[in-house]
Structure 1
C-alpha cells in the first residue's frame, strides 16, 4: 500500500486523462488515498481491477450504510446522500436483480431501434431551430445537447415536456454537487412531489409509456408499489437526460478541437459509432464509482477489509495504457467499446444503448446539416464542470 498527498477525487482535467491517476497507477494499481470527506479509501486505477470490483457481489452499492464512501466534503451533503430513497443503483443482490429485471425490457436493442425515427425527428427539429436564427450562432448546450435527451426521456417515461425547465433546474442542482444541502434537499422534495402527482395521475389513467407499463405490470402481479415507482421515475428522469446531455457537448468539443478526427467521420459516417465510443471512453463522465466491501476481498494484490470503501475509477480505467494504446490520444478509429464508462457487471448502465443511439444521431445529423460548425470561443475559455457529473456549462458555437 502506498499513500499519496493529493486529495481525491482530484479536479478534472478537460483532456488527456488525469495525471493523479497515472501517478497512482505507477505506484500501485490500488492505493489508499485521502479523500475530500476527510477520510481515506482505496482507489483502483486499472481496467482489470475496476471490472473485478464492479462485478464482485462482495462490494456493495448500498450508500445507506454509514461506512459507504460518499465523496462530498460537506457533512450535511453526505448525510443527505445517505438518506436518498433507495433505488436500483443503491440495491444489491436479489433485490437489485428484481428491480432491474422489471424494467430492462424497455431498453432492449430491438425496442430502442424502433425509437430511432422519433429520435431523428427530435434532433432534426432542434437543428431546424438553430438554423432558423439570423445570428448563425448558439449555445449548443441550450440549443441541442440538453433538449434532445430531455425530450426523448420525457416521451419514454410519459413526462410532459412542457415541464422540462422545472425538472432540469432541479436535477442540475442535484447533480452539480455544489450549493447548500438545504437547497439540494428542496430540489429533491420538489422533484419527488412532482413525480408523486404524475404517478397518481397515471395510476388513475395509464398511458402508453414506460411508467404506465410498470404500473400495469405491478398491478398484474398484485403489488403496486407507489414509492418504488417514484424512485424509479426519479432515477430514470435525472439519469436519462443529464448524462447524455453532457456527453453530447463533450463529444462535439472533442471533435471540433481535432479537425482530422472530425474530417474522418464527415468523410465516412460509418465511423460515427466508433467516434461515439471514443468520446465515451475519453471523457468518462460517470466517475468515480464507489463501493463498500461487505467482507474481506483480495483484489489487485491488496486485501480490502470488510467495512472499507473502495473507488472504481472509470476515468482511470479508460486511460489504462495496458488496455488502450496511446490512451491519452482522442482517436475515433480506436472503436473502444471495451471502456467502462457505463460501468460493468450487475449495475452496468441500463440506458447505455439509448445514450449511444442519441449520440450517434446527434453527431451524424449535426455535422451533416451544419458542416461549417465551429467553436465560437477558444477551448481554454470553455467552462467545464468539475463537480458532480462531468460536462460543460455553456458551449458557444458559430457556423
Structure 2
C-alpha cells in the first residue's frame, strides 16, 4: 500500500501548470486545502461513492455562517442529503427535468436566443454581458412559471448566492443579503402563483406535491431555493466558455458551420476542455482507501474535474480538441447520485446558442485583446468575452 502522498496545492495559481491526470506518484495528492483527486478513474470513484459527502455546508461554516436561515437551508438542501432522503427529494425534480421537458423547452429556447441576438448591434459585443448571462435566467422563468421580467433579478440572485464558491470570506455580507432577498422573492413568487392558479411549470409541480402531502412546506421551499440558486450563473459562464473555445478553433468552427450535425459533439468536447465547475469538493464521512491512500474521516477531498477531463489514461491526446471523440464522457456535470440535474437542459441551451451563431453569424470571431477569461480556484470564469459577430447571414 502506498504510504507517501505526493504534494499538490490544488487552489494555487500554479496548479493548472499540471496538464491533467495522475501525477507520477499517483492519482491522488495532498495540500493545505486537503486531498486532491486528479485522475479520471479515481475522480469517478469518489463522485459515485455516497460516503463522500458534499462540503458546501463546511464551506459556509468556514465563512462564519454557522446558524440562521441560510445555514439551515444549506443543511437541509438536496446536495447535503444521501440515501433514501436524497432520492425522495431528487425524484420530483429529476422527473420534471427529464428528456421530455428538455425537448419541449427547445422551441422556447430558440425564441429566447433569437430575441437576444436581435437586440445586439453588429459591432463587437460583450457576449458575456449581452448573451450568455441572460439566457439561463430567462429559461428559469419559463420553467418556474415566473414573468420574463423577473429574469434580471433571478440572474443577480444566482450570481450573488453562488459567489460562495469563489472562496472569498469578504463576500459573506453580500452572500447573506442575497439569500435573504432570494427567500423574499420566492415567497412573493409563490404567493403570486397561488393567486393566479397553478400551471404545468416546475414550481407549480412542486407546490402541488406539497399540497398533496408528498413534500413538506419546508421541503418545497428548500427545493425551490435550490432550483433558483443553481439556475443561472454556472450555465451562463459555461455557455460563454464553449463559444469562446469554438470560435478560437477555426477548423472546428468551419466544420460546424458546414454541417451543424456536429454541434452536440463539439459542445461535449468543449465542455471537457473548459469546465466551469473545475473542482467538486467532498468530505470523507469515514476512513476510506482511495488509490492506495487512506483518507481519514472528516478530511476535505477535492475532485479536480479539469484534471480528470484531461487524463491521458482516459482521453487520447487530451489537450487537443477532437471532434467526434469516442467514449467522450467528461465529468463536467459530475457523475453518480449527485450528478447535475439540469445538465440536459444546460447542454440544450449551449447547443441552441452555438446553432444560432453558426447559422446566422458564420464569420463570428473572438476579439482576444478585449476579452478576459481565467481559471481561479478551480473554476473557469469569464470577466469579459468580446465577439465580433461579422456580417449576418
Scaled by the length of structure 1, what TM-score is found? 0.87
**Which stretches in structure 1 are left out of the alignment for 5+ residues?**
36-40
**Is the contact made by 2:375 and 2:381 (CA closer than 8 Å) also made in structure 1?**
yes
SS at match of 2:24: helix
Instruction: Tell me how far 1:392 sits from its aligned partner.
Output: 0.8
2:382 is matched with 392
1:172 is matched with 159
1:45 is matched with 38
Instruction: Tell me how far 1:9 sits from its aligned partner.
Output: 1.7
From the superposition, tell whether residues 312 and 125 of structure 1 become closer, same or farther in structure 2 (CA, over 3 Å).
same
2:131 is matched with 144
**Is the contact made by 2:210 and 2:220 (CA closer than 8 Å) also made in structure 1?**
no
Deviates more, 1:106-115 or 1:384-393: 384-393
- Deviation by residue 1:354-395 (Cα, 9 ceiling, x = unmatched): 01111111111112101121223437x524363585331221
1:106 corresponds to which of 96, 99, 118: 96
1:218 paired to 2:206:
no
**Which stretches in structure 2 are left out of the alignment for 5+ residues?**
none
From the superposition, tell whether residues 388 and 339 of structure 1 become closer, same or farther in structure 2 (CA, over 3 Å).
closer
2:342 is matched with 351
SS at match of 1:26: coil
1:57 paired to 2:50:
yes
1:184 is matched with 175
**Is the contact made by 2:265 and 2:323 (CA closer than 8 Å) also made in structure 1?**
yes
Instruction: Tell me how far 1:336 sits from its aligned partner.
Output: 5.7
Distance, in Å, in 2 between the alignment partners of 1:242 and 1:155 is 17
Distance, in Å, in 2 between the alignment partners of 1:50 and 1:239 is 23
Instruction: Tell me how far 1:288 sits from its aligned partner.
Output: 1.2
* Paired residues for 1:221-236 under 5 Å: 222-236=213-227
* Paired residues for 1:211-290 under 5 Å: 211-220=203-212, 222-290=213-281
From the superposition, tell whether residues 63 and 385 of structure 1 become closer, same or farther in structure 2 (CA, over 3 Å).
closer
Scaled by the length of structure 2, what TM-score is found? 0.88
Instruction: Tell me how far 1:27 sits from its aligned partner.
Output: 2.6
- Deviation by residue 1:39-81 (Cα, 9 ceiling, x = unmatched): xx111111111111111122122644xxx5x3x8x94357588
2:149 is matched with 162
From the superposition, tell whether residues 323 and 77 of structure 1 become closer, same or farther in structure 2 (CA, over 3 Å).
farther
From the superposition, tell whether residues 271 and 23 of structure 1 become closer, same or farther in structure 2 (CA, over 3 Å).
closer
Distance, in Å, in 2 between the alignment partners of 1:164 and 1:336 is 37
Matched length: 378
1:308 is matched with 299
Distance, in Å, in 2 between the alignment partners of 1:247 and 1:340 is 14
2:27 is matched with 29
1:367 paired to 2:358:
yes
* RMSD, aligned α-carbons: 2.5
